[in-house]
Structure 1
């Protein structure tokens, strides 16, 4: 009798989601810091350029569009759900990371 050990699909394995979840949490933390620095800038307590006001509106459209395209490409290429999630957060995380680094360098006003 040949008994095969059943295997779970990758989406049913909890550790398969760990990397995607980590990227989401980092993106959320960076976004929170960016919002704080921008709000401090509006209160004249953080040095931000005047172009920041326009940037904070425009970047949302660009980021969400890039995330949707990345997720669609991952779905159409047959990637498992956790890789689709990671592909979707990658463009947004790139923007939050660059915003955080850029604004953190400017410092208090």
Structure 2
């Protein structure tokens, strides 16, 4: 994202943040769906998936909080702070979605 020198976000800045937010939501929902199907025995997941989904939360949210705090400390606009917080979460959800989608449905 290009950082503007102005103190106010443009409509394009806000639309970009909104699109990134909704992409994060969609990726998160797909990961939840695939993991739920995996626990029901309908999606191919590794046996370590349950442990993984718990263990990944703290590092991801810690990184997001640190990124948002750093952006706020440096005087970034609210949309830039939100983008900074979403970046590590989006990275994690994108990786999970990609990894889980490759495994696919159980073949019976």
Task: Provide structure 1 residue ranges, at least 5 long, that are not aligned to the other structure.
Answer: 1-7
Alignment check: 8 A CA contact 1:63 1:92 kept: yes
Name the residue aligned to 2:8: 10
The ranges of structure 1 where at least 4 consecutive aligned residues each deviate by more than 3 angstroms after the TM superposition are none
- Out of 19, 25, 29, the position equivalent to 2:22 is 25
Name the residue aligned to 1:52: 49
Alignment check: 8 A CA contact 1:63 1:95 kept: yes
- Out of 65, 68, 72, the position equivalent to 1:68 is 65
Kindly state the Cα deviation for residue 42 of structure 1 after the two structures are TM-superposed: 0.6
For 2:67 and 2:53, locate their aligned partners in 1 and report how far apart those are by CA, in whole Å.
21
Task: Provide structure 2 residue ranges, at least 5 long, that are not aligned to the other structure.
Answer: 1-5
Kindly state the Cα deviation for residue 78 of structure 1 after the two structures are TM-superposed: 1.4
Aligned residues: CA RMSD: 1.3
TM-score between both structures, scaled by the size of structure 1: 0.87
Question: How many matched pairs?
Answer: 101
Kindly state the Cα deviation for residue 57 of structure 1 after the two structures are TM-superposed: 0.8
Kindly state the Cα deviation for residue 9 of structure 1 after the two structures are TM-superposed: 4.1
Kindly state the Cα deviation for residue 14 of structure 1 after the two structures are TM-superposed: 2.9
